[in-house]
Amino acid sequence: MEIQDLPLEQKMLIEQAKAKKKKIKRLIVIILFIMVILVIGLASFILFKENESVPENKNPDKEVVEKEPVLVFLDKEIRLDLDDTINIFNLLEIENIDKSKIVFSSSNEDVVIIEGNNIVTVSYGIAIITASYDELETDLTIIISDNSKVYAIMILDGPYYLYIGEKVDIKYEFLPTDVFDLNFSWKSSSDMVAVNNKGTATGVKLGKATITLTNNNSACIKSEDPWCEPEVSTEVYVVENKISFEVLEEEEYKPVKEIGDNKGTAKITYKMRVKISGVSKPVYDPQRLTHDVRNMGGSSVVVSPNGKDESCADCYLYTFEYSFDSAKAGAANYSIVTFKLPNGSLGMLKLYTDLFN
């Protein structure tokens, strides 16, 4: 049946359906167009962001990496023989540095010289090789020795402080350490301090002395070289001291007496301050303060150290437990506690009781 032969109502429905179909097609085309635009825009945005995050690299085949430069000698000190030649780069750790820009120098060209990339030893002695690059710098000590002479000496831990009669071994070092023919001598500038040929100093009088160590087998070539020290010295001070006692607290235990045989005991506990006064050492070692106990008759005492007294300089706290037993008493009844310092200075404390006399 032809459309024109259909009733009017059906014709209208068919026309509406055709119009609706055209609208749907048109809408689909529009949606597809918009989606294409969005996809292109999103792809362009992603590509832009990726290009923005990648740093500029003029050479895309080479990776750009920031690394810290490293320049350091593998050892602090080495021993070489006379007329040795060694490539200096074999002694270094180098990273991220142009080797051609490293600058080398020798502190003593009479002993070691730099020829190109080589270290060359020319005579016995000590030299310090320095390698520098921009702000980096590293040192290497080179010792050329025939093991028969000392090239450098130094005194350690000075100045020294002594009491009268006290002794101390002055510490020193020398290079090289394996020299077999040592020839050192010691002298004191004053009779206030005595020193023997082994470097042991003894306080004699209050005052100060300069103790000098001389290397009589020196291999120094140039006197202006800082390593060439045929003589080194230190100061030794002799200072005064004395020991005093102060009772901080006393606690007495009542005596017990047995009627008929005149026997009994007594016990007194003292908390004492022991003070070292006078011109003390700058740093005092409490281990220097020792004590001895001498008991006579029926007396006895136990001494217990209680550490440093922070209320005064060079003060130390002790507890004394003194006891007396009349059953053991003799003609002499007392205890003596003697505190001693290394110089022989004494502080004596006598404890006794007459409770049973």
Ordered structural domains, the chain, with CATH: 71-144 (2.60.40.1080), 152-239 (2.60.40.1080), 242-351 (2.60.40)
Q: DSSP assignment, residue 311? A: T
Q: How would you classify the pairing of strands 231-239 and 160-163?
A: parallel
Return the pLDDT at 196. 95
46: left (phi over 0), alpha (psi -120 to 50) or beta: alpha
Return the pLDDT at 315. 82
Going by C-alpha positions, the residue among 124, 107, 114 that lies closest to residue 88 is 114
Please list the alpha-helical segments (H only) found in the chain: 8-53
Element (H, E) at 85: strand 85-87
Burial class (CB in 10 A: 0-12, 13-18, 19+), 184: middle
Residue-wise pLDDT for 172-192, tens only, equals 888 777 776 778 899 999 999
Return the pLDDT at 198. 92
Return the pLDDT at 284. 45
Return the pLDDT at 210. 95
Judge contact between 293 and 336, C-beta under 8 A. Answer: yes
- At 44, the amino acid letter reads S
Return the pLDDT at 130. 95
Return the pLDDT at 201. 95
- At 259, the amino acid letter reads I
Spans of the chain below 50 pLDDT: 221-224, 258-261, 282-284, 355-357
Return the pLDDT at 62. 53
Strand spans (E) along 108-199 = 112-115, 118-121, 125-133, 136-144, 152-155, 160-163, 167-169, 172-175, 184-188, 193-195
Measure Cα distances from 224 to 105, 211, 221, 257, 312 in Å. 18, 22, 9, 83, 48
Going by C-alpha positions, the residue among 199, 183, 108 that lies closest to residue 149 is 183
- The span from the CA of 158 to the CA of 168, in Å, is 11
